[in-house]
Chain A
Amino acid sequence: MLTTRWQPLGTAWPETKRLQKEMEQWLRRVGMNDPRRSAQSVYPPLNLWEDDNNLYVEAELPELELTDLEIFVDGDNQLSIKGERKQPERENGTWHRQERSHGKFSRLGELPQYVDSEKVTAELKHGVLTITLPKRKESKARRVEVKAN
C-alpha cells in the first residue's frame, strides 16, 4: 500500500535548505547563477559593442580616475587595461563588511576587428569607463599585396 505522509514542515525544511545550498554552490562553481559573480575571476568585466565606425569597450570601475588606468592598444587589435584600486586607508576602527574588491588588475584581450590605435579615446564618467576604438578602414585592413611577375 502506498501512502503519502506529509512531512511536518520542521523536518522537511532542513532538507530543502540543504538541496538549495548545494544547487547554489554548484551554480557558483560553474559561474552560472549571476553574470556579475561569474565575471569575478576576471576583473573588470567588459562589455563590447560596435556601430558602423567604432568598437566600444565598457567597464565598471567605480572609485578610479583615468590617471589610475593604463590603456594600451597593441598591434591595432590587442587591448590591455591595467590599473589598481586602492582600499581607503582608515585607522582606529573596524571593517564590518568588505564586499568590494581592491588591488591590482589587468585585462588583455583581442579585439574582433582592427582599430586605428592612434585615435583611441577613453572616458571615465561616474565610475564607468568607455573606450572608443575607431575601426580601421576595411580596405586598409584587408589589403593584400599581389606581386606580378
Chain B
Amino acid sequence: MSTTLTPEETRSDVTPVERTSGGTTYSPRFDIWEDNDETILYGDLPGVTPEDLEVRFENPVLTIHGKVSSRHNDIKLLHGEYGIGDFHRTFTIGEAIDTERISAELKNGVVTVHLPKSEKVKPRRIEVTCC
C-alpha cells in the first residue's frame, strides 16, 4: 500500500516560490523514500541551523521552513551563481502515517523527516491455520 504524499506546489523543481520584502524564499530539493515501516523525506537545507528549522505538522500538511540569515551583508560580491534565502516546502500526507511518531533531524544542511506508518497499514503476514 502506498502512502499519499504529494508536494503542494505543482512545480516541484527548486524554484524561488516567493519574493517578499524580506528576500527570496526557495523551495528546497527533496528525495522521498518509502519502505514497509516508514516514509523518509531527505531535504537539502544548506545554511540552516537546528534552531532555525521548523518542521510542523498540521493534519494533513507537513510544513518545512528553514530560516537562512543573510551571509552576504556589506560585502562586495564579485560573482554570484546562486541566491540565498529561506527554504519553504509543504507536503500533504495521507492518513496512513502515525503522526504522533513523526521525527526530524538536521545534519550538515540535510533534514531527514521520518514518517512512520501507522500499524494498521503496515504489511502483515497473515498466519494461515489449517483445518
Interface residues of A (CB under 8 A from B): 34-37, 39, 42, 45-51, 55-56, 58, 60-65, 88, 90, 92-101, 112, 124, 126-128
Chain B CB count within 10 A is highest, among A35, A36, A48, for A36
Which residues of chain B have C-beta atoms less than 8 A from A47's C-beta?
Answer: 72, 77, 79-82
Given contacts A49-B76, A93-B34, A95-B31, contact A36 B83 (CB under 8 A): yes
Which residues of chain A have C-beta atoms less than 8 A from B49's C-beta?
Answer: 126
Within 8 A of A (CB), among B1-49: 5, 7, 12-16, 26, 29-36, 39, 42, 44-49
Which residues of chain B have C-beta atoms less than 8 A from A98's C-beta?
Answer: 31
* Docked CA distance A90–B78 (Å): 41
Number of interface residues of B (CB under 8 A): 38
Which residues of chain B have C-beta atoms less than 8 A from A99's C-beta?
Answer: 12-14, 29-31
Q: Does B125 interact with chain A (Cβ within 8 Å)?
A: no
Determine if A62 and B76 form an interchain contact, defined as CB atoms under 8 angstroms apart. no
Determine if A100 and B76 form an interchain contact, defined as CB atoms under 8 angstroms apart. no
Please name the residue on chain A nearest to B26 by beta carbon.
A36
Q: What's the minimum C-beta distance from A83 to chain B, rounded to whole angstroms?
A: 13
User: Among the listed A37, A45, A61, A128, which residue makes an inter-chain contact with B15, where contact means beta carbons less than 8 Å apart?
Assistant: A37
Determine if A97 and B46 form an interchain contact, defined as CB atoms under 8 angstroms apart. no
Please name the residue on chain B nearest to A57 by beta carbon.
B79
Please name the residue on chain A nearest to B82 by beta carbon.
A45
* Docked CA distance A97–B89 (Å): 14
Q: What's the minimum C-beta distance from A7 to chain B, rounded to whole angstroms?
A: 23
Determine if A127 and B32 form an interchain contact, defined as CB atoms under 8 angstroms apart. no
* Docked CA distance A55–B79 (Å): 11
Given contacts A36-B83, A126-B49, contact A96 B109 (CB under 8 A): no
Which residues of chain B have C-beta atoms less than 8 A from A124's C-beta?
Answer: 108
Chain A CB count within 10 A is highest, among B26, B32, B109, for B109
Q: What's the minimum C-beta distance from B55 to chain A, rounded to whole angstroms?
A: 16
